[in-house]
Chain A
Amino acid sequence: MSRASQDQPRVMSRAEAEALAKRVLAFATATETRVSIVNGVRGNTRFAVNQVSTAGDNADTTIVVRSVVGKKVGSATTNRVDDAGLKAVVESSERLAKLSPDDVELMPELGPQQYREGLGWSDRTAALDPAGRAAGVRLITDQAKSAGLVSTGYLETRATAQAIANSKGLFAYTRDTSVALTTTVRNEEGTGSGWAGSTSSDWGEIEPAALGARAVDKARRSTPASAIEPGRYTVILEPTAVGNLVQLILGATSARNADEGRSFFTKQGGGNKIGSKVIDERVSLVSDPFDRQTPGSPFTGDGLPTDRVVWIENGVVRNLNYDRYWAEKQGKQPTGVSGGGFGFSGVLKMSGGNETLESMIAGCQRGLLVTRFWYIRPVDPRTILYTGLTRDGTFLIENGKITRAVRNLRFNESPIFMLNNIEAMGAPVRVSSSESGSPGSSVVVPPLRVRDFNFTSLSEAV
């Protein structure tokens, strides 16, 4: 590491996190207390019009205290780690708990648990400093400049230590890193645009020059773009586009919502769809934080060890997401997935097939090739129906060949319908699936060819 990086903050070790947690718990007087620590170092470099525009580095430690007084629960958060700050946050949490009514769904804190080691740490990512980020970015901006094009993009790194401790002796610790690099290359007239992006735990797996080359190539081929009629099309979705949509299914896996009648996974007449076939039998959806392709946290927010969860196996629903309360009420085991319930953003791997993007194009009479989707928003939770648009590389395929660039289109479609209309699947790969370009959860999905994808209007946007 360079001399400058000795000045760079690093994340807490297990021993440091445990010591901090003990200092917090020492102030506690409640029946039960849980402390959750997130300590992180983040760095980012943005580039626009072929040069670095802004960058940012920050270091922070967030401490969340959850107090149970009798059957009353309160919580408080701070980022002050001196004794006065820690005492104040415990007092604040306990004060809120005392003023709260009894929690009719209260679950006792867990005792000590056994956890596996998380797989998501990379020294190379943790060591990447502002100069290293700027050098990576220039591998893209220089190419775009030479090609007479305009690159914009974003590189973000995170190194995070997380710990949970409670008054019953539970202690969990993990640390991980993540990095994402995305770029959009446009022509100066604003009539063409191409995107490429990649994410990993390990900076060494990101290839800035290759990403730059892909985005430059797409931008060149994206013009002139002609208008086509909206309607139902066979589409070949690059893995990023598949990830954009398939991960939305995980957001709808709450068992409680299904049992309460307000979910796609609600069964007609009552109950849920566990055991029912809902998508093509070639498709399985799995969250496994200990798969090297989809590293995730070894524990949930309440300290439960995580495990491999099969949501859908060969098209059939095998599991929904049960939190500890709903599991007990329904006589089920709680689901060990990190970030359960609403806003679920766990790791995800989808099964694939033997085709390649090229063979899928060659086997397509008439269809559209989609690079990615954007501004994806829910329309109807009854069918997991979303709307959004294609962006930064949409092409017409005729008689097995890409023939021309086309204007972007708006879809109104559900990943459930999409996964019932599969014609072909390729090999699953890790994708940058968050719209914002920040490193999200690990999502590994294949490219797909799908029939009858529902486009409802045309967009002039480039």
Chain B
Amino acid sequence: MSPSRREFLRTTSAAAAAGLALGITGRADAAELSSRLIAPSPGDAVLNDLLLRALDAAKSAGAQYADARISLNRTQNIFTRENRVAGLSDNETFGIGVRVLVEGAWGFVATSNLEPDSVARVARQAVAQAKANRAPGQRPVVLAPAPGNQRGTWRSEAKVDPFTIPIEDKVQLLLSVNAIALKNPQARFVNSSMFFLKDEKSYANTEGTLVSQTIIRSQPSVTVTAVSKDFTDFQSRQSNDIAPMGRGYEHVTENKLEENVVRWADEAVQKLSAKPVEVGRYDLVLHPNHLWLTIHESIAHPTELDRAMGYEANYAGTSFVFPPDKVLGSLKFGSPLLNVRGDRSQPGSLAACGWDDDGVQPDEFDVIKDGIFVDYQTTREQALWLDSYYKKAGKPTRSHGCSYAQSWSDVQFQRMPNISLLPGDKDLGWNDLISATDRGIAIIGDGSFSIDQQRFNAQFGGQLFYEIRGGKIVGMLKDVAYQIRTPDFWANLDMLGGPKSYELGGAFNDGKGQPSQSNAVSHGCVPTRHRQINVINTGRQA
């Protein structure tokens, strides 16, 4: 770290601490702390006090920069099968994580013990750990400038807090859905579930930022399984046309599970007698509730800057979008129809937030413009790595706000924002793409997925596969998977839907990092058509 940079951190930290202290009405004593921690709300002075204690202790122990996160994370799970509640639980986890920079090396320690002494102790341990991590001659971590003194609160756009809905109502709905599914005589089994999350996070750093956020996410889910009479086949239909969302209980009610389950049960049964696919090359028409996962794997992951720079080589992998100075602004990622944007602001999306876990307000940014790769996903640690490109391109050198940790106990690192495929100019929809296709396969819902560690070679299944002949759907297929080479697949994109066909899909548990952390992310997209994609048959006899 350069002396001027170190000086900057020292002065801003001191100013920040003074500013933060003004917002707090005296230090809580231990008894008061204990009682107020039972039901803290984001922005509560007692939480701010603990955050400040952590930052003070870190600075006193020698940190040039520190940030602290307290999170009260509540989840509720309800699992049912047929006429039975198989699991019903309310869960909460509460704790603090303190991250420090000491002469360019990171340290991070977390605890669920929120006594003031414990919080100060983990801050000191983080500094000691950073000193142990530092080695002579190593490249220092340098944070890109970001506005300090951020203050405020942010809340997911949830109309109905799912934790306010009585559990009986939720159980009754799921058991009713199951009973309706089982009216179909060949639908033998049905599992249904609801999952809700409310994460109340408070964050402070030594640059004067102090923000709190309430993040709400909801996912209803149903799986119907049909078994053939002779026990030689079974097929399932998952309701993944209903994506997990950063919304409240309205996401459950608006999706009309009791109506839709009749169709899901019918489709599970139809899959038993579907025609096994003939291997070969087909034009694929992909529904947004399928395509989001292909975008996630083949576009969103390879445009993470830490992967491209080799930081995730031991698990998640690296990237074919490499090296940055050779590909930024020039790599042809796909057809000129391909426009992809990153954001953490789409209403109801899973990655939406007010500030990331670096305390940065995320921006919207182009990742692929007219088929050309133009930017990576970044954090404060990473943005300076692209400084010369940004200067040349006339863009500001700033973090895109992609720092995220799954919980108080995990260190934050680069995670993907919502990465979305923008609609085309023409007002086309799903049926228009099918009508325009002579010989192809239409795929609905996501299924099996696997991709290599540089994101070249991928294989995807789905929920439902329909044979297209002469612009019409002529029957259902099964045992379908397609294999792609990423740049070829996106180069073969020749039709896409318009703004009216745009939908958000998403994943609740995207894994990355060591230890593996879950990230929740949405991908908006429209239906697409891809010419001449390789399809295999996955059915084998045991």
Residues of A within 8 A of B (CB): 4, 7-9, 42, 44-46, 48-49, 51-62, 64, 73-80, 82, 84-85, 88, 92-93, 96-97, 99-101, 103-105, 129-131, 133-134, 138, 150, 152-154, 156, 182-184, 186, 190, 193, 195, 260-262, 264, 266-270, 374-383, 385, 387-389, 391, 408, 410, 412, 414, 416-417, 435-438, 456-462
User: Is the Cβ of A153 less than 8 Å from the Cβ of B314?
Assistant: yes
B164 contacts chain A at the CB level, 8 A cutoff: no
User: Is the Cβ of A375 less than 8 Å from the Cβ of B311?
Assistant: no
| 12 more CB-based (< 8 A) A-B contacts, given A60-B111, A134-B135, A410-B459 | A60-B409, A62-B93, A101-B175, A264-B542, A267-B231, A375-B450, A412-B481, A412-B538, A436-B515, A437-B314, A456-B459, A457-B457
Most buried by B among A48, A76, A130, A435: A130
B89 contacts chain A at the CB level, 8 A cutoff: yes
User: Is the Cβ of A51 less than 8 Å from the Cβ of B227?
Assistant: no
User: Is the Cβ of B514 less than 8 Å from the Cβ of A156?
Assistant: yes
Q: Which chain A residues lie closer than 8 Å to B510 at the CB level?
A: none
User: Is the Cβ of B310 less than 8 Å from the Cβ of A96?
Assistant: no
User: Is the Cβ of A104 less than 8 Å from the Cβ of B84?
Assistant: yes
User: Is the Cβ of B89 less than 8 Å from the Cβ of A387?
Assistant: no
B203 contacts chain A at the CB level, 8 A cutoff: no
Q: Which chain A residues lie closer than 8 Å to B313 at the CB level?
A: 48, 150, 152, 184, 186, 193
User: Is the Cβ of A56 less than 8 Å from the Cβ of B108?
Assistant: yes
Tell me, in angstroms, the Cα distance from A437 to B314 when the chains sit together. Answer: 8
Given contacts A77-B89, A461-B452, contact A60 B106 (CB under 8 A): no
Most buried by A among B94, B121, B511: B94
Tell me, in angstroms, the Cα distance from A4 to B449 when the chains sit together. Answer: 46
Given contacts A261-B227, A379-B538, A389-B450, contact A74 B481 (CB under 8 A): no
Name the residue of chain A whose CB is nearest to the CB of B75. Answer: A77
- Please pick, from B85, B97, B314, B317, the residue contacting A183 in the complex, using a CB distance under 8 A: B314
Least CB distance, A240 to chain B, in whole angstroms:
14
Most buried by B among A77, A99, A383, A461: A461
**Contacts between the two chains (Cβ within 8 Å), count:** 282
User: Is the Cβ of B88 less than 8 Å from the Cβ of A414?
Assistant: no
User: Is the Cβ of B485 less than 8 Å from the Cβ of A377?
Assistant: no
User: Is the Cβ of B409 less than 8 Å from the Cβ of A58?
Assistant: yes
Least CB distance, A267 to chain B, in whole angstroms:
7
Least CB distance, A415 to chain B, in whole angstroms:
12
Tell me, in angstroms, the Cα distance from A53 to B514 when the chains sit together. Answer: 11
Chain B interface size, as a band, is 35 or more
Residues of B within 8 A of A (CB): 34-35, 37-38, 83-85, 87-95, 97, 105-113, 121, 124-125, 128-129, 132-135, 138-139, 166-168, 171, 175, 188-189, 225, 227, 230-234, 309-315, 317-318, 320, 322, 409-411, 413, 448-457, 459, 461, 479, 481, 483, 485, 511, 514-516, 534, 536, 538-542
A-B contact pairs, 15 of them (CB 8 A): A48-B311, A48-B314, A55-B133, A77-B90, A78-B91, A79-B95, A84-B35, A88-B38, A150-B310, A260-B227, A261-B188, A387-B448, A435-B315, A436-B514, A438-B516
User: Is the Cβ of A260 less than 8 Å from the Cβ of B189?
Assistant: yes
Tell me, in angstroms, the Cα distance from A56 to B536 when the chains sit together. Answer: 43
- Please pick, from B89, B128, B461, B511, the residue contacting A76 in the complex, using a CB distance under 8 A: B89
User: Is the Cβ of A53 less than 8 Å from the Cβ of B314?
Assistant: no
Tell me, in angstroms, the Cα distance from A78 to B93 when the chains sit together. Answer: 6
Tell me, in angstroms, the Cα distance from A78 to B90 when the chains sit together. Answer: 9
Given contacts A374-B452, A375-B450, contact A184 B314 (CB under 8 A): yes
Tell me, in angstroms, the Cα distance from A46 to B514 when the chains sit together. Answer: 7
User: Is the Cβ of A462 less than 8 Å from the Cβ of B454?
Assistant: yes
Tell me, in angstroms, the Cα distance from A82 to B454 when the chains sit together. Answer: 47
Least CB distance, A316 to chain B, in whole angstroms:
15
User: Is the Cβ of A268 less than 8 Å from the Cβ of B314?
Assistant: no
Q: Which chain A residues lie closer than 8 Å to B411 at the CB level?
A: 54-56
User: Is the Cβ of A154 less than 8 Å from the Cβ of B108?
Assistant: no
Tell me, in angstroms, the Cα distance from A78 to B89 when the chains sit together. Answer: 11
Least CB distance, A15 to chain B, in whole angstroms:
20
User: Is the Cβ of B110 less than 8 Å from the Cβ of A58?
Assistant: yes
Least CB distance, B78 to chain A, in whole angstroms:
9
- Please pick, from B34, B188, B515, the residue contacting A44 in the complex, using a CB distance under 8 A: B515
Tell me, in angstroms, the Cα distance from A75 to B311 when the chains sit together. Answer: 39
Given contacts A103-B84, A382-B542, A436-B515, contact A79 B449 (CB under 8 A): no
User: Is the Cβ of B310 less than 8 Å from the Cβ of A99?
Assistant: no
Least CB distance, A411 to chain B, in whole angstroms:
10
Name the residue of chain B whose CB is nearest to the CB of A459. Answer: B457
Name the residue of chain A whose CB is nearest to the CB of B408. Answer: A58
Given contacts A190-B318, A262-B234, contact A437 B132 (CB under 8 A): no
User: Is the Cβ of A269 less than 8 Å from the Cβ of B457?
Assistant: no
User: Is the Cβ of B34 less than 8 Å from the Cβ of A460?
Assistant: no
User: Is the Cβ of B110 less than 8 Å from the Cβ of A410?
Assistant: no
User: Is the Cβ of A391 less than 8 Å from the Cβ of B128?
Assistant: no
Tell me, in angstroms, the Cα distance from A101 to B86 when the chains sit together. Answer: 11
Given contacts A92-B90, A383-B542, A410-B483, contact A7 B121 (CB under 8 A): yes
User: Is the Cβ of A268 less than 8 Å from the Cβ of B231?
Assistant: yes
Least CB distance, B464 to chain A, in whole angstroms:
16
User: Is the Cβ of B111 less than 8 Å from the Cβ of A59?
Assistant: yes
Most buried by B among A58, A150, A416: A58
User: Is the Cβ of A261 less than 8 Å from the Cβ of B92?
Assistant: no
Least CB distance, B101 to chain A, in whole angstroms:
11
User: Is the Cβ of B108 less than 8 Å from the Cβ of A54?
Assistant: yes
User: Is the Cβ of A96 less than 8 Å from the Cβ of B167?
Assistant: yes
Q: Which chain B residues lie closer than 8 Å to A456 at the CB level?
A: 459, 483, 536
Tell me, in angstroms, the Cα distance from A190 to B515 when the chains sit together. Answer: 24
User: Is the Cβ of A99 less than 8 Å from the Cβ of B93?
Assistant: no
User: Is the Cβ of A77 less than 8 Å from the Cβ of B483?
Assistant: no
Tell me, in angstroms, the Cα distance from A195 to B314 when the chains sit together. Answer: 8
User: Is the Cβ of B320 less than 8 Å from the Cβ of A460?
Assistant: yes
